[in-house]
Amino acid sequence: MRRFFAGLLWVLGVAPLGASAAQAEEAWSGAYRLEWIDAGKTGAEMRIAPAPDADPAKLVEKYRADLTRWTISQPVSGQKGATLRRFLSSQYEAFGWGDLREAARIECLDANRLFVCRTDPGTTISFGPDRPNRETLVARTGVFGVILHAGAFELKKLD
């Protein structure tokens, strides 16, 4: 009987550790309201959901280190959506966000023509090399992104 209770206590003690790892992986998942930075554009409901892991045999070597994937889609469109993967270190450096990444203050997902990043709400994000006319964005919700040729947006979590 003591062994049973000892085992039960061990399981109860270890279970939260596994749950927190799963929660960290699933922090992206959920329904969001896309709000364009350009106030003249209409937003939409978006969903980020876990996707099957990538097949390493189908990837170039630089993408094989992290196979975790998500999809981002607009539920009402009925279209498949885009597959997201974590940024590579070089991508953070290209945007000038290497220091933010090292301090664990930003995490980004990429889908080639769009990317989504998560940081602390209210963080000012600068784009590109350090220069006087550098573009900036205040991440009011903490989740922001860019769609190539469409512009910048923020995501407001709905659930």
> For the segment 73-112, what is each residue's pLDDT rounded down to a tens digit?
998 877 788 999 999 999 999 988 999 999 999 999 999 9
With respect to residue 3, please indicate whether it lies within any of the assigned structural domains: no
3 state SS of 17: helix
Query: Which residues are within 8 A (CB) of 77 and not within 5 positions of it... i.e. 6 or more apart?
Result: none
Residues written for the chain = 159
Mean pLDDT for the chain overall:
83
Q: Which of 33 and 42 is assigned the larger pLDDT?
A: 33
Lowest mean pLDDT among 11-15, 33-37, 65-69, 128-132: 11-15
Taking the alpha carbons of 56, 62, 68, 72 in that order, is the dihedral positive or negative? negative
Q: What percent of the chain has pLDDT over 70?
A: 84
Distance CA 36, CA 151 (A): 8
With respect to residue 134, please indicate whether it lies within any of the assigned structural domains: yes
Cα three-residue angle 140-116-93, rounded to 5 degrees: 100
Looking at the 3D structure of the chain, how many domains does it have?
A: 1
With respect to residue 38, please indicate whether it lies within any of the assigned structural domains: yes
With respect to residue 106, please indicate whether it lies within any of the assigned structural domains: yes
Q: Give the residue numbers spanning the domain of 58.
A: 28-157
With respect to residue 42, please indicate whether it lies within any of the assigned structural domains: yes
Residue 70 has pLDDT above 90, yes or no: yes
Predicted local confidence at residue 53, as pLDDT: 96
With respect to residue 13, please indicate whether it lies within any of the assigned structural domains: no
* 15 HSE (CA, 13 A, CB side): 6
Tell me the average pLDDT across 40-60. 92
3 state SS of 120: coil
Q: What percent of the chain has pLDDT over 90?
A: 61
